[in-house]
Chain A
């Protein structure tokens, strides 16, 4: 047994010894209760998005966070989680989300004569490169203006990022290993004065 396992086992024993009767009205999560499993069901259907919106979201989210050496947004069911959350959020929030999502289809149609999902990988890269940076379009005789697409991109990115990095896949990408006990916080182990860059 390694040190982490020892720690974990000692924690479990402590918890068991201390348990008392559970108050009837308490919020208690059943052991192994895992809402993310619902999202992984093969018979999953969207509660909020229509099929086209769902496909656009899968494609857009995977472009923002693609599979690399670790899985991307699609494998993390980012679309499914966002569908669930949006289904219970206020109408105003839902409308803003759909406005931005739809903007990507409209924009793709205008520039590439195809819906976002039907773009080639190169076209998707090209399209997002146009909108992913906070640049302004400045021309002779025109005032500075933020390109409208940047706002839509930022909004969709915020949603996708929050869903991805709270998923099992995203947390694993950040190093999460499922262990509750992490050993002792060691902090700075330099000798006094070793931070020579101290101003």
Chain B
């Protein structure tokens, strides 16, 4: 009879197998620790990858509204990446409910599967700088992080060298350079825009720093430019945890992967005030089970990790585990999106070739330029924003008319440029998650209530971003410019951060700088939950670096027999 993994006791239980859970499992098992890696969803196979499957082979060609699966994923379909190709990687919303106030919608995109959101993430990978880590010192709002750029830089190095980030060094202090693989190329329109923006505004436009490799790297093949990464990659050219970190962890022989293990709460030993395991529901049998370990590491995604802690009230921990500050669940952030501009660059005449030429699943990035120094200080908002965008020839299905002339116009195409802002989302304690007292998921686990709005600062920032985007496009000679300035619903950036922020003072933070709960010395929140502020950069690279730093520290503590 096979050894039952639940009869063993582990050094560490890692909850979640995505970007941060994969790293935790890899680091700890490679250090010789016995690791149990719990994933709420099923395993994933490369046989499910559909990046090369043409759309006409799908029954409904991913047309909006068509397909019975959409009824089970009304929230998830708001994400461009959730399609008729891969919808079952995303959660069934009916089984995984959450509530919001009626006037505060929040869209929560989730994957429950080995690899989590690394299977279809946007792959943009940027370092934060001390503009971000020490933001409160710059403008007086909120709290500084308990770590500085210098503390995290060596761990950014480790993550970048393993993951493989293609990009270009720019020497711009608002966006520190890293260890890059050769950058992807810009189109003519993008090179022109970069030159124009530098000349007219003194701002930096760079190629997107992407976790897509441009040369053979750590046994993975270079990108073959098919362009639809969110449906998987047969050559593993973009970073996803099942085929990298999780695989490494399993290859050590020290890591046990448990799938369909939906964690409900952390188990505490009241005599020692230490955790001794987690309780989970087996998604296959619906049985409740407990697994024992010396350390519990939550990498379940910011809101899920906090949900587990809030659902772990016991003994003296009456309002959730690690909540003596009353701040657990508070300070929810998600980058504000929505503002931007688009237009035509008629001076470029290329023929569109998205179906015949190489398709680059990356774009350009405009590095933050607001509130970066005294001279760029803004009167009506703090912090800043960056833009993602692209320029190139696209088919012109919007052409007017009909018949042979229309068909020709579609193919002839139009040369378009578009940029969209990602703005800092301030950590405000009135944006929070709590446990909904009357709502449970399909496994009987109390569900979250999410209450978040973007505030006045985000609105002012996006008005400026919209104007600024249009100015840059106009200076580059763009015509027929459309400006967008509305702030999208929170959750749309899919960059949920905060709710268990780190800090040195247990009265004003939930974890220490190594992601350990101030209140419990062997429970950790090693994902986006520990963010103090959001910056405006896509956060996954920083989450992974924080995890690696925290794991290094934890390994030291194991060596010293502190755990």
Contact = CB atoms under 8 A, between A and B. Distances in A.
Interface of A: 7, 10-12, 14-15, 18-23, 25-29, 33-36, 38, 63-66, 68, 70, 81, 84-85, 88-90, 93, 125, 128, 132-134, 153, 157, 161-162, 165-168, 171, 173-178, 180-188, 190, 195, 197-199
Report the contact-size class of chain B (Cβ under 8 Å from the partner).
35 or more
A129 to B, nearest CB: 9
Nearest to B243: A18
A78 B492 CA distance: 34
Interface stretch (B74-82, B189-197, B316-324, B443-451): B189-197
Interface stretch (B55-63, B291-299, B366-374): B55-63
Nearest to A167: B56
Given A187-B187, A188-B186, 14 more contacts: A7-B224, A14-B235, A15-B234, A22-B47, A26-B88, A35-B56, A64-B406, A66-B407, A88-B65, A182-B356, A187-B186, A187-B190, A195-B191, A197-B192
Contacts of A29: 50, 53, 57
28 contacts: A18-B46, A19-B46, A21-B45, A26-B48, A65-B407, A84-B59, A85-B63, A88-B66, A89-B66, A128-B403, A166-B55, A171-B55, A174-B352, A174-B395, A174-B411, A176-B54, A185-B185, A185-B359, A187-B188, A187-B190, A188-B187, A188-B188, A188-B190, A195-B192, A198-B192, A198-B195, A198-B199, A199-B196
Contact of A11 (B44, B86, B196, B234): B234
Question: Is chain A's interface secondary structure helix, strand, loop, or mixed overall?
Answer: loop
Nearest to B362: A185
A199 B54 CA distance: 40
Contacts of B439: none
Contacts of B51: 180
Contacts of A175: 353, 355-356
Given A174-B395, A176-B355, A182-B224, A34 B57 contact: yes
B65 A26 contact: no
A90 B66 CA distance: 9
A93 B63 CA distance: 13
A64 B57 contact: no
B230 to A, nearest CB: 14
Contacts of B353: 175
Contacts of A11: 221, 224, 234-235
A83 to B, nearest CB: 12
B81 to A, nearest CB: 15
B443 to A, nearest CB: 16
Interface of B: 42-61, 63, 65-68, 86-88, 184-188, 190-192, 195-196, 199-200, 221, 224-226, 234-236, 243, 347, 352-360, 395, 397, 400-404, 406-407, 410-411, 475-477
B475 to A, nearest CB: 6
Contact of A173 (B195, B354, B407): B407
Given A11-B224, A63-B403, A174-B355, A33 B57 contact: yes
B55 to A, nearest CB: 5
Contacts of B57: 29, 33-36
Contact of A180 (B44, B226, B477): B226
B347 A132 contact: no
Contact of B45 (A19, A93, A178): A19
A178 B53 CA distance: 9
A12 B224 CA distance: 12
Contact of A36 (B56, B221, B406): B56
A81 B62 CA distance: 12
A86 B99 CA distance: 32
A4 B191 CA distance: 28
B224 A132 contact: no
**Among the interface residues A64, A85, A133, A157, which one has the most CB atoms of the partner chain B within 10 A?**
A85
Contact of B46 (A15, A128, A186, A199): A15
A165 B186 contact: no
Contacts of A38: 59
Contact of B200 (A64, A197, A199): A199
Given A18-B236, A22-B47, A183-B358, A132 B400 contact: yes
Contacts of B68: 88
A182 B52 CA distance: 11
A27 B65 CA distance: 19
A198 B66 contact: no
B195 A195 contact: yes
A166 B64 CA distance: 13
A14 B52 CA distance: 14
A66 B45 contact: no
B47 to A, nearest CB: 5
B343 to A, nearest CB: 13
Contacts of A197: 192, 347, 477
Contacts of B352: 174
A81 B59 CA distance: 9
